[in-house]
Structure 1
Amino acid sequence: MRFGTVGTGWITDAFIEASKETKDLTHAAVYSRTADKAAAYALKHEVQHVFTDLKEMAASDDVDVVYIASPNSRHYQHVITFLKGKKHVICEKPIFSNLQEWKEAYHIAEENGVFLFEAMRNLHSPNFTSLQEGLQKIGHVRSMILPFVQYSSRYDKYLAGEKPNIFTTEFSGGALVDLGVYPLSLVVGLFGKPDSASYFPIMLESGVDGSGTLVLEYPDFTGTILCSKIAQSSNMCEIHGEKGTLVFENAGDMYHPRVIMNGFKEEMSLQADDHPNNMVYEAREFARIIESGDTNEYERLKYLSYDVLAVTEKVRHDNGIMFDCEND
């Protein structure tokens, strides 16, 4: 299948490189608002077709699938354009700003007979399967702490008086939707949607959260997620069971998963994949679902995406964090 890209940042570069390992996706087109930037990006990736008009790209017979990595608040408009052009769409996380956009977009996807995916890479990694296996060893889960605390160089620009997209309500930014969605999607993928959720943000003057603590309540345990773009942490992710603790590095990659048993401190390494670009797995899976028409797995991923977005929208609104697109 031939795919086009919207967005010219590092994440798009990573997806393009990942696609080369799938054997099912061929990079065929690029889009950018400016002709010079589009041409330069096409030259960089040796791509023939260049677009500066989204509708023209959506109507092109040279594109079957589109990968979208534009600013968060632009996702909805861009996704809808391609769905109406009957293109399958892979959209970077967070897929949309709110549930209204989610519902409308998936309705349009169904009307046009195409698939719409959220690119949440950790859910497709072999390490996610290793975590599921590790859960069988640690006994009844009672608590967890999942940090994604990563200082952003763009915060320096924010402090200098600039307005980086990710620190503005205009572009649907903030720590929770940018970084917190990784551990949140991991928890929802492993345990389902929580019974309730509460968020305790550290607010910036721009109206978004620079960091925060998300507490998820389940019938038998409570999960704590720490997310920040204004601080740095080297703490491990931990899921605590009555027999042992499941430990791993980084909720986006789940590197070095292992189980540490209680009492004797016995440590068991789990089968792990340390691929430097774990977007390979989501690219392969999305291509497989499209080509095989696997609607069962598609629906599972679709509603997992819904559950994650439902949590982030609810706790944002609880704290008065409103994106500009929600105030129109």
Structure 2
Amino acid sequence: MIELGIIGTNWITQQFVDAIKLAKTYELVSVYSRKLGTAKSFAKGNGAKETFDDLKKFFKDGKFDTVYIASPNSLHFEQAKLAIESGKNVIVEKPAFSNQKQMTEIQELLFDHPSVLFFEGARNVHTPNFQAMEDQLGKMKIVQGAEFTYSKYSSRYDKVLGGEEPNVFSLKYAGGALQDLGVYTAYDAVALFGMPEEVAYFPQLIRTGVDGKGTAILKYPEYTVTLNFSKISNSTMPSEIYGLKDFIQLDDAGEIEKVTYTDASGEQHLLSGEKLANPMLPEAQDFARVINDPNNEQNKKDYAYWCQLSVYVNKLLFNLRQDAHISFVGDQD
């Protein structure tokens, strides 16, 4: 049984905790929050044994072997460093880190701590529906690009309109659309097509200085891939991968609940399975599989692939920000 500690007590943490209950291979034992009362409330509701409001004590005294980090983006790096140095496996919510310097330092730290495992929580690429899409793509004789769209209005944007600056819309906390919903589209593109040769990002900046929405163009040798994402508007526009006369269509680039393939004759084939009980269950199961048996050859291969994806996506996100001249406070450290 994997003994889990968590940093952060927001809705995404609750969803992950609900997922590990379904996975039945984890036990939540430790909760950290800046406010002890918040940690105790979350622990009581989820059966955790320990609570902390001191991060160093959390890593020093906590009876867990793996930590799930779901704090504001800008805090991921320092918290992941502490975890690795403490010998804890790390599951960090996407985006793992804000820039390439941080990612490089973490990779070097992992090299010095070979028993520690590191995972980025990009749930979309772990789902059966993503695998079905990837399998169908491999059967297409010609590929001519793709468009991935993921747009969901954030309730926190109401606070921005009211004059506030919540973390997800703050440069200080490495917020913005690219660093949130845009990560899913970036993972889709990199996992399916690899790293692009050139990139361009056209953001719509909001009052706080971050990108509320944007469009990224990724140039590959024979086609382009377009990423559309927004936290300040809603869209039901599907995502598509283009063949010649055939194409793959998915409901959106993040949740990926419905995937269809339309062949050259126009006949449509459903590729997706039943809706998941929890969208984070497949990644929780994948991570547990590797943690529980790290020397299994297939697990080693999968782990190496996920780590490489994380490095590539980090680089892509950073390159897109550089193109759009979006700088975070942490970039200056």
TM-score normalized by structure 1?
Answer: 0.96
**Deviating more after overlay: 268-277 vs 300-309:** 268-277
Show the 5 A alignment for 1:259-270: 259-262=261-264, 264-270=265-271
**How many residues are matched?**
327
Corresponding residue for residue 196 of structure 1: 198
Stretches (4+) displaced over 6 A? none
**Deviations, residues 4-29 of structure 1 (Å, cap 9, x unaligned):** 11000010001001111222211111
Deviation at 1:135, TM superposition (A): 1.3
User: 2:320, 2:255 → 1: CA distance?
Assistant: 25
| Pairing 1:208–2:213 present | no
**Deviating more after overlay: 289-298 vs 163-172:** 289-298
Deviation at 1:132, TM superposition (A): 1.3
**Equivalent position amino acid for 2:28 in 1:** H
Corresponding residue for residue 21 of structure 1: 22
Deviation at 1:324, TM superposition (A): 0.5
User: 2:19, 2:144 → 1: CA distance?
Assistant: 36
**Equivalent position amino acid for 1:40 in 2:** S
Corresponding residue for residue 275 of structure 2: 274
Corresponding residue for residue 318 of structure 1: 323
User: 1:60, 1:116 → 2: CA distance?
Assistant: 21
Aligned to 2:231, which of 229, 232, 240? 229
RMSD: 1.3
Corresponding residue for residue 126 of structure 2: 124
Corresponding residue for residue 220 of structure 2: 218
User: 1:317, 1:217 → 2: CA distance?
Assistant: 16
**Deviating more after overlay: 187-196 vs 6-15:** 187-196
Deviation at 1:131, TM superposition (A): 0.3
Show the 5 A alignment for 1:130-141: 130-141=132-143
Do the aligned partners of 2:153 and 2:233 also contact (CA within 8 Å) in 1? yes
| Pairing 1:301–2:301 present | no
Gaps of 5+ in 2: none
**Deviations, residues 10-65 of structure 1 (Å, cap 9, x unaligned):** 10001001111222211111111111111111111121111111111212361010
Do the aligned partners of 1:144 and 1:224 also contact (CA within 8 Å) in 2? yes
| Pairing 1:65–2:70 present | no
Do the aligned partners of 2:35 and 2:53 also contact (CA within 8 Å) in 1? yes
User: 1:318, 1:129 → 2: CA distance?
Assistant: 31
User: 1:160, 1:303 → 2: CA distance?
Assistant: 40
Aligned to 2:256, which of 229, 254, 257? 254
Do the aligned partners of 1:138 and 1:246 also contact (CA within 8 Å) in 2? no
Corresponding residue for residue 184 of structure 1: 186
Do the aligned partners of 1:138 and 1:240 also contact (CA within 8 Å) in 2? no
User: 1:119, 1:60 → 2: CA distance?
Assistant: 25
**Deviations, residues 109-135 of structure 1 (Å, cap 9, x unaligned):** 231220111000011111111001221
Do the aligned partners of 1:122 and 1:128 also contact (CA within 8 Å) in 2? yes
**Deviations, residues 157-213 of structure 1 (Å, cap 9, x unaligned):** 101100011111100011111111101101111111112211111112322111110
User: 1:26, 1:306 → 2: CA distance?
Assistant: 29
Corresponding residue for residue 109 of structure 2: 108
Do the aligned partners of 2:5 and 2:62 also contact (CA within 8 Å) in 1? no
Deviation at 1:136, TM superposition (A): 3.7
Specify the SS of the correspondent of 1:73: helix
**Equivalent position amino acid for 1:307 in 2:** Y
**Deviations, residues 221-272 of structure 1 (Å, cap 9, x unaligned):** 111110111111111111110131101112122112111123x421011142
Do the aligned partners of 1:245 and 1:259 also contact (CA within 8 Å) in 2? yes
User: 2:254, 2:290 → 1: CA distance?
Assistant: 22
| Pairing 1:286–2:291 present | no
Specify the SS of the correspondent of 1:91: strand
